[in-house]
Amino acid sequence: MAKRLAKHRSRPITKKKGAAVRRTTIDNSGSDGKGGLPVPRPFLRWAGGKQRLAGSLLEFVPQNDEYKRYFEPFFGGGAVFFAIQPEQAILSDSNNELINCYRQVQANPKVVSALVRRYAKRDSSSFFYNIRDGNHKARTKVAKAARFIYLNKAAFNGIYRVNRKGKFNVPYGPSENGPAVPNCVALVAASGCLKRARIVAGDFEFVVRNANRGDLVYLDPPYPPRSDTAYFVHYSADRFGWDEQLRVAKVFRRLARRGCLVMLSNADQKKVVSLYKGFYVHRLNATRWLGSNGDRFRVREIVVTNYVPAKMP
């Protein structure tokens, strides 16, 4: 199996004419280190988001000229996408509000920014609960995107969690200096990068059915809970249970058979690792804290690939 998979590395993928091979380094300065051009970066805080791990994850991602299109079907905050800035991408998530937000930032970053600023100016606990509980309805798609960004930044720990009826239910809890909403420069920079992507709402399995030989697919599903009864992150009204982990593993195998380059992040749990026999399972040195409120705990991470990464850490 290993030999067959290793073939992926040597199969040449023709570089498209004019396709830039870009890769950003991860820093927090807001500049590209070459004169202050704004660097596109994630502008939402997302539970399970890989922003802090992006540096380590990049070691496993093929260079931009080694694959055709980039698929990220569990997009969330999009840390890996913004770090690698692929030339052509298909980005998706099952969270409709999140996808609307990216589409609006893609098309109308300045309008979204102006509306977000308006929300942020009026920030207070009572304003937050009015906005959260729908007393001030955002009617247009662009207003909904701005509302989403404000709530994401003003809610406790930037968590997105919904109750069983699908209603956002995270309490107020911005950082010390108020909600750290992205400014216009940040949203315009993100928009530039998103313009090279098709952004779709939907289930991961449905979206990657169009991935072909030579495409890179990065799967970053919600992690399994520590126990069968503890669901620590609720991204949507549908819980991501063990059956879903099995479905992810099936999709991983299907894509690998089709000749895609496939990379997956997940928790370093025996049960999870056993789903990826025959593939390359790498352990990240970094650990992360996951969970919300008082229920925070450490998670060790694995990265599974069906190819040998060029730069093994």
Ligand X SMILES: C[S@@+](CC[C@H](N)C(=O)[O-])C[C@H]1O[C@@H](n2cnc3c(N)ncnc32)[C@H](O)[C@@H]1O
Summarize as ranges the residues that interact with ligand X (CB under 6 A): 46, 48-50, 73-74, 76-79, 93-95, 203-204, 220-222, 235-236, 240
5 versus 248: smaller Cβ distance to ligand X = 248
Q: Minimal distance in Å, beta carbon 238 to ligand X? A: 7
Torsion of CA 223, 228, 230, 233, to 10 degrees: 20
Look-up: residue for tokens 């919300």?
A: 292
5 versus 69: smaller Cβ distance to ligand X = 69
Q: Minimal distance in Å, beta carbon 135 to ligand X? A: 25
Residues 6+ apart with CB under 8 A from 231: 225, 239, 240
Distance, CA of 17 to CA of 312 (rounded, Å): 29
Distance, CA of 258 to CA of 281 (rounded, Å): 20
By the 8 A CB rule, do 267 and 299 touch? yes
Instruction: Sheet containing 197-201: give its strands across.
Output: 197-201, 89-93, 70-72, 216-219, 261-267, 297-305, 280-290
Q: Minimal distance in Å, beta carbon 218 to ligand X? A: 8
66 versus 220: smaller Cβ distance to ligand X = 220
Q: Minimal distance in Å, beta carbon 292 to ligand X? A: 14
Which stretches does DSSP call E strand in 94-208? 197-201
Instruction: Take residue 230 and report the two structure tokens written for it.
Output: 């503890």
Q: Minimal distance in Å, beta carbon 149 to ligand X? A: 15
5 versus 79: smaller Cβ distance to ligand X = 79
Q: Minimal distance in Å, beta carbon 121 to ligand X? A: 27
How many other β-carbons are positioned within 10 Å of the β-carbon of residue 219? 21
Of 149, 296, 303, 278, the closest CA to residue 218 belongs to 303
46 versus 102: smaller Cβ distance to ligand X = 46
109 versus 222: smaller Cβ distance to ligand X = 222
Instruction: Take residue 170 and report the two structure tokens written for it.
Output: 């995270």
Q: Minimal distance in Å, beta carbon 68 to ligand X? A: 21
4 versus 250: smaller Cβ distance to ligand X = 250
